[in-house]
Amino acid sequence: MSRTARRMVASGLVTGTSGNVTVRTPEGDVPITPSGLDYEVLEPEDVVRVDPEGRPLEGSLKPSSETPMHVGIYRSRLRVGAVVHTHARCATTLACLGWEIPPVHYMLTALSGDGWVPLAPYAAYGSEELAGHVSKALGESRQVCLLQNHGTIAVGKSTEEALHRTVILEEMAEIYYRVRIAGEPILLTPEQVAEVAAKIVDYGQSKPSDAS
């Protein structure tokens, strides 16, 4: 997990201590990156373990302030195995504009069955209110969402999958932002989105509409 956290830094998705990554263990508890510790110096023994309610089980460091958001997702989405949270620049720019991402590019079907990336309303970081907004925005089947005036969330079966979805989300956010500056986007129709969703299954990837 500390390796994934460092990969987020290397990919430019996070800077300094913004953002965090968690997994759910087979026992149901959640190792989480510590609060305020730079990923560049993060070692496996620095990771804090919390129970499904977000209470620390072991580890001397204080868990990330975003713990309620992560454990809230695991409670509402039983098949999710990993959560990645970032303040990635383009996606966060859209979130600060209060924009969702509509089905403007076919790759969005890999993130959400209907091609839309929803926006969770603003609430203070680390709050139970924000955790509730995020779980509601993700619903039962979406793999990513934007957090208004804050950043991004992506879920997956593994940290690799959640990180990969964050990379796609950031790419899609940049494209949508550029399109909006240049003119009026052409949106895919529901039929076109459904056609691509079926093709992505043929690629052997996980079905976008599958809850994970």
Radius of gyration of the chain, Cα coordinates, nearest whole angstrom: 17
Q: Which is nearer to Zn ion, 2 or 149 (CB)?
A: 149
Q: One symbol per residue from 144 to 173: x for binding Zn ion (CB under 5 A), - otherwise; what is it?
A: -------x----------------------
29 three-state secondary structure: coil
Quote the least distance from Cβ 18 to Zn ion, whole Å: 6
Q: Which is nearer to Zn ion, 113 or 151 (CB)?
A: 151
Q: For Zn ion, how many residues bind (rule: CB under 5 A)?
A: 1
Nearest partner of 4 among 90, 88, 84, judged by Cα: 84
Quote the least distance from Cβ 65 to Zn ion, whole Å: 8
Nearest partner of 107 among 97, 117, 99, judged by Cα: 117
- Work out the angle at residue 16's Cα, subtended by the Cα atoms of residues 14 and 17, and round it to the nearest 5 degrees: 85
Q: Return the active site residues.
A: 66
Q: Which is nearer to Zn ion, 54 or 151 (CB)?
A: 151
Quote the least distance from Cβ 111 to Zn ion, whole Å: 19
Nearest partner of 23 among 61, 74, 60, judged by Cα: 74
Question: What is the sign, positive or negative, of the torsion defined by CA atoms of 141, 74, 173, 128?
Answer: positive
Q: One symbol per residue from 65 to 84: x for binding Zn ion (CB under 5 A), - otherwise; what is it?
A: --------------------
Residues that bind Zn ion (CB under 5 A): 151
